[in-house]
Amino acid sequence: MFLISKIFWLVAQPLSIAFLLAVLAALLGFFGWRKFSGAASLLAALVLFVTLYTTSGAVALQVLENRFAKPSADPAELSCIIVLGGALENEVTTSRGGTEFNQAADRYVETLRLALKYPQARILVSGGDGSLSGEYEGESEASERFFAAFGISPDRLVKENASRTTYENTRQTSELLAREDLSDCLLVTSAFHMPRAMGLFRKAGISVTPWPTDYRTSGIATLSPDFTQPTSNAQLTATAMREWIGLLAYYLTGRIDQIFPR
């Protein structure tokens, strides 16, 4: 399933769809089917326009981010924090060492803030190497260097270094929580990812408090043309599309009970 999902996403992301439509248009034109070639070219252009020059990606991602409200205040007490992987550049850290973050770095920034405020809280880092090759350092291993740099003792960390997907995050985390006798944890992940994560944790019978972070949208975006930031628009569209496809796939395969958990 992991390999299938990786290959599927290589094809299903917006820019790949536009490329494949352009290739199809070229082939149809080569064989003399001009009407079909023109239609494929038009579809490719439409996909590119929506992806690059509209706020559709931001709006679609915003719906996901708004599903679980951002907490208004820190908890009075805290004994356990679960942070889902996906914020470290595993290939870079494997070859260069240190900790190199991607756009989801807020997952670790927020976890560090909470860890410093609640020195008694344990930190469960869930995330291995999600690459196709599986040859890179797992995220929970690299995270130990990050937390140690800010004085967080390794004894506070519970490392889950085998999972490659959110589904595997949940399965592996469930076992560790039972082994370490931890319960009622905060779940820290990107806001757009929280619906799928909460659906999985609920399905597994794990009680957690959602603690969304890493917001990518303003929360007030509306659908309109946007010619100012095509690269950013493409990234937002791809992220939103991947997450919505993930929700649908997990629901159809019975991994979550609701297509859009709330």
pLDDT band, residue 240 (cuts 50/70/90)? very high
Structural domains in the chain? 2-65+228-252 (no CATH), 80-213 (3.40.50.620)
Q: Which residue shows structure tokens 């690059």?
A: 52
Distance of alpha carbon 81 from alpha carbon 110, whole angstroms: 10
Q: List the one residue out of 84, 57, 96, 118 whose CA is nearest residue 191.
A: 84
Query: 108-156, pLDDT tens digit by residue?
Result: 999 999 999 999 999 999 988 766 666 778 888 889 899 999 999 999 9
Looking at residues 87-100, what average pLDDT do you find?
Answer: 86
Looking at residues 196-203, what average pLDDT do you find?
Answer: 97
Q: List the one residue out of 249, 243, 223, 256 whose CA is nearest residue 61.
A: 243
Contact 213, 190 (CB under 8 A): yes
Q: What is the pLDDT of residue 4?
A: 82
Contact 256, 197 (CB under 8 A): no
CA separation (Å) from 130 to 105, 108, 133, 166?
Answer: 16, 18, 8, 10
pLDDT band, residue 239 (cuts 50/70/90)? very high
Pairing of strands 185-190, 157-160: unpaired
- Please report, rounded to a whole number, the percentage of residues in the chain having pLDDT higher than 90: 76
Distance of alpha carbon 156 from alpha carbon 35, whole angstroms: 64
Looking at residues 46-62, what average pLDDT do you find?
Answer: 98
Looking at residues 223-245, what average pLDDT do you find?
Answer: 97
Backbone angles phi, psi at 161, to 5 degrees: -115, 15
Q: Which residue shows structure tokens 């997450």?
A: 243
pLDDT band, residue 98 (cuts 50/70/90)? confident
